[in-house]
Amino acid sequence: MAPVPVADGGEDAVDIKQLKALVTVAEAGSVTRAAELLHLVQPAVTRQIRTLEQELGVVLFERIRQGMRPTEAGAVMVDRARRALNELERARAEVQPTPGVVTGVVTVGLLESATDLLAEPLVSAIAREQPGIELRLMTAYSGYLQQWLDDGDLDVTLMYNLASTPSLNAHRLVGERLWAVAQAADGLRPEQPISFSEAAGHPLVMPTAGHALRSLIDSAAARAGVDMDVVVQTNSMRVQKQLVLAGYGWTILPGVGIAEDVARGSLSAAPLCEPDVRRSIVLGTQRSGRTPPAVEVVAREITRQVRLAVRDGRWPSAEWQANSGAAGDE
């Protein structure tokens, strides 16, 4: 498709309404649905997209059978527009605060393995103590969370086995062991560690190659001098557990990710030994720029919730590693 001609005059400029229309159409997949979400008539949304295309001199969407799909240029604009709108929303909350109340939008990254343990207590605590803060929770494996933090899509996140870098600060919170996980009938017991070589003697359901957790497991296999029989790879911890339940093999996961499953008897698990396989959980924040008060508040609350989970025994085989003066100490 040929480029859309640039409008004459040079007076037009991208405005907030156009950015909102762009992002909403991309997320909704159609102009009709976007118009409903924006409480506008469909021609108004179409006009905003066309005007933006004229100002940029590129086509932003292509029509497909299912609706509208961003072009390559459109995808770049959608990504940038989404970040610009998020920053504007955050700035508006910061410059128009209620006296004595911390306000703002904070996007939090949670490790998939720790989501069930931390998400509800964190949301509850912030809603109770800091109702002016709007939380947005994102869950994923550590590698994705680090990338999102580097890209500015997250304000604060939990990650593991990561030191501070030029672009982010990493504060160590917890050290924990990895566990062999099997069907309940296999009878693994938390108080009886199992050697890595014994666990590797079973067919294994593993994280996908290149993932940080998989790299940690591969390193342990090399130290133990064993070859793993990997029958399935997946990028989802929940799928790992489902496949173990279905009898496809054993898996290896952090204790926090299987605590509830073991407690209700759907799975059995034991910490690994020979070698002892551990990961360190860190709290990551962006290094550049000013840290908004709302982000500082949420970071302290995440730290507090992690420490409470370790102290109360809800985070299996975890050791609190933050300094005594770290945020969240009681």
Q: How far apart are CA 21 and CA 318, in angstroms?
A: 46
Domain assignment present for 246 = yes
Per-residue model confidence (pLDDT) at position 95:
66
Whether residue 167 is found in the same domain as residue 288: yes
Domain assignment present for 11 = no
Q: How far apart are CA 93 and CA 86, in angstroms?
A: 11
Whether residue 60 is found in the same domain as residue 142: no
Domain assignment present for 9 = no
Whether residue 167 is found in the same domain as residue 192: no
Per-residue model confidence (pLDDT) at position 317:
86
Host domain of residue 123: 99-173+281-320
Per-residue model confidence (pLDDT) at position 203:
97
Domain assignment present for 1 = no
Whether residue 168 is found in the same domain as residue 312: yes
Round the CA-based radius of gyration of the chain to a whole number and report it. Answer: 24
DSSP 185: G
Domain assignment present for 8 = no
Supply the pTM of this predicted model. Answer: 0.69
Domain assignment present for 63 = yes
Whether residue 82 is found in the same domain as residue 109: no
Per-residue model confidence (pLDDT) at position 141:
83
Per-residue model confidence (pLDDT) at position 98:
59
Whether residue 26 is found in the same domain as residue 105: no
Q: How far apart are CA 49 and CA 296, in angstroms?
A: 37
Whether residue 70 is found in the same domain as residue 152: no
Whether residue 270 is found in the same domain as residue 209: yes
CB 302 within 8 A of CB 108: yes
Domain assignment present for 328 = no
What CATH number has the domain bearing residue 212? 3.40.190.290
Whether residue 162 is found in the same domain as residue 292: yes
* Residue that is last in its domain, among 90, 111, 128: 90
Domain assignment present for 38 = yes
How confident is the prediction along the chain (330 residues), in pLDDT tens digits per residue?
A: 444 444 444 445 668 888 989 999 998 998 888 988 888 888 889 999 998 988 888 999 998 888 889 999 999 999 888 888 877 876 776 665 555 678 888 999 999 889 999 999 999 999 999 998 999 999 988 888 988 898 888 999 999 888 777 778 899 999 999 999 999 999 999 999 999 999 999 999 999 887 788 999 999 999 999 999 999 999 889 999 999 999 999 999 999 999 999 999 999 999 999 998 999 999 999 887 678 889 999 999 999 999 999 999 899 889 998 763 333 333
Q: Count structural domains, the chain.
A: 3
Whether residue 182 is found in the same domain as residue 262: yes
* Residue that is last in its domain, among 246, 261, 279: 279
What CATH number has the domain bearing residue 155? 3.40.190.10
Residues 218, 220, 222, CA angle at the centre, nearest 5°? 70
Per-residue model confidence (pLDDT) at position 102:
84
Task: For residue 244, give the H/E element and its range.
Answer: helix 237-245
Instruction: Please enumerate in sequence order all residues whose Cβ is within 8 A of that of 46, keeping only pairs 6 or more positions apart, or say none.
Output: 31
Whether residue 231 is found in the same domain as residue 258: yes
